[in-house]
Amino acid sequence: MQNKSSKHTIILIVSVVTLLLLSMMIYVSNTLNQSSKKDSTKNHITSQSSNAEFAKMTESDIKSSEDKVNIYIFWGDGCPHCKHLAEFFNQHRSEVEKMANLYTLEVWKNSDNLTLMKNFGKFLGETPKGVPYFIIGNKTFSGYSESDTKTQKQILETIKTESQKSTKTDKYQEYKKSSN
């Protein structure tokens, strides 16, 4: 009788552990699917101004544009300066969305995006060493400070100037042509 009871106990424990593992797998799968859906939305800056974040995009998200200037932002997940830049773009969202497409490429956790940043920077004659690093038309920016109103004005002015050109400057498209 003792042996039969032990077998039932073992079977019960194995069943409970199996159910727990299945539950965890389903939970993780659902969480990843929700995260994936959030990242694939057209909205490249999420949340309210004080909690703004860039979407995690990849090179495959980049599309050529004739009517808007493409802005390429390389950023790091957890970087406070990047967060402030996201907040800046969020504050100017309605103005910027009319003139530009934002491509936000996270480089600290995505090695493909990091390689793209380094190679793209090299093509532009630069060696990007930190984030945020971003390109608007012919102009590159390295770093960001929320208190630097001069740079903020430069960013908006560069977007405005580039968006008014009949032929938009897209250094990424030039980079891609040169690497083929």
Least confident of 13-17, 51-55, 75-79, 110-114: 13-17
Fill in the amino acid letter for 7.
K
**How far is it, in rounded angstroms, from Cα 86 to Cα 52?**
6
Instruction: Give residue for tokens 């799968």.
Output: 29
**How far is it, in rounded angstroms, from Cα 119 to Cα 128?**
9
Instruction: Give residue for tokens 């039932």.
Output: 8
Fill in the amino acid letter for 160.
K
Least confident of 40-44, 68-72, 79-83: 40-44
Q: Provide the mean pLDDT of the chain.
A: 86
Global pTM value: 0.73
**How far is it, in rounded angstroms, from Cα 93 to Cα 68?**
14
At residue 164, does pLDDT exceed 70?
Answer: yes
Residue 32: predicted pLDDT? 59
Token pair in block for residue 43: 């909205």
Token pair in block for residue 27: 């939970």
Residue 96: predicted pLDDT? 95
Q: Coil, strand, or helix at residue 54?
A: strand
Residue 4: predicted pLDDT? 72
At residue 165, does pLDDT exceed 70?
Answer: yes
The structural domains of the chain, with segments of one domain joined by +, span 1-39, 45-179
At residue 118, does pLDDT exceed 80?
Answer: yes
Higher pLDDT, 23 or 135: 135
Q: Where are the alpha helices (DSSP H) in 55-170?
A: 80-91, 93-99, 111-123, 149-164
Looking at domain 45-179, its CATH superfamily turns out to be: Glutaredoxin (3.40.30.10)
Q: How many CB atoms lie within 10 A of CB 100?
A: 22
Fill in the amino acid letter for 39.
D
Fill in the amino acid letter for 10.
I
Per-residue pLDDT averaged across 102-118, rounded? 97
Q: Coil, strand, or helix at residue 6?
A: helix
Peptide bond into 132 cis (omega under 30): yes
Give the tens place of pLDDT for each residue, 16-62.
Answer: 777 777 677 777 666 655 544 444 334 455 544 456 889 999 999 99
Residue 128: predicted pLDDT? 96
Higher pLDDT, 13 or 34: 13
